[in-house]
Amino acid sequence: MEPRLQTDRLLLRRWREQDLVPFAQMNADPVVMENFPSTLSAAESAALAKRIEECFAQRGYGLWAVEVPGQAPFIGFVGLWPVRLELPFAPAVEVGWRLAHDFWGHGYATEAAEAAIAFGFQEVGLEEVVSYTARVNTRSRRVMERLGMSRDPTEDFEHPLLPQDSRLRRHVLCRLHRSQPVYGG
């Protein structure tokens, strides 16, 4: 099965070879990667794309490549990702996104995440999805709010892979249970 998700404006699809160059450009953009420890090299981006495709092969879901049909063949990724790190809430499935800077502010992350969450609940049978980000990442936190995710501040955590003095170390965790309505849903 090759899950493709369609929204009013977007197509979430499996990755193509031609996605690798714009993916590497997006991951090398310091604006896009501001709330990550570092930008990624082209080789690191290609390795990530390979892991994403392996997740689809193993689980039937992953981080879909997102396109705006007729306008942009690749704007980033949105989808579901297993939380593999030893984090306080693992095991879990995360809804996540990363879009090229030119496509911020159009509601694409929220629209695509709604579709991914619906797929996770309806097709995969998930009971809950989580999302987490650095506390300073206000843009992603707003997407989580628009999705109707709830945050319990007692579940905020220090990311174990980041240095103690990193401005990104403190993370917020948001949850959405199957029984909760998704924004717009």
Number of domains within the chain: 1
Residues sharing a CB contact under 8 Å with residue 119, sequence separation 6 or more, in sequence order: 3, 5, 61, 80
Residue 42 belongs to domain with CATH number: 3.40.630.30
Evaluate whether residue 142 is within a structural domain: yes
- According to the model, what pLDDT value does residue 180 have? 79
Q: How far apart are CA 117 and CA 80, in angstroms?
A: 8
Evaluate whether residue 155 is within a structural domain: yes
Query: pLDDT digits over 131-182, tens only?
Result: 999 999 999 999 999 999 999 999 999 999 999 999 999 999 999 999 876 6
Quote the domain boundaries for residue 78.
Answer: 5-177
Evaluate whether residue 110 is within a structural domain: yes
- According to the model, what pLDDT value does residue 84 have? 81
Evaluate whether residue 74 is within a structural domain: yes
- According to the model, what pLDDT value does residue 143 have? 98
- According to the model, what pLDDT value does residue 182 have? 60
Evaluate whether residue 81 is within a structural domain: yes
Evaluate whether residue 182 is within a structural domain: no
Q: How far apart are CA 128 and CA 121, in angstroms?
A: 8
Residues in the chain where the model's pLDDT stays below 50: 184-185
- According to the model, what pLDDT value does residue 112 have? 98
Q: ∠113-14-92 over CA atoms, to 5°? A: 50
- According to the model, what pLDDT value does residue 2 have? 72
Evaluate whether residue 184 is within a structural domain: no
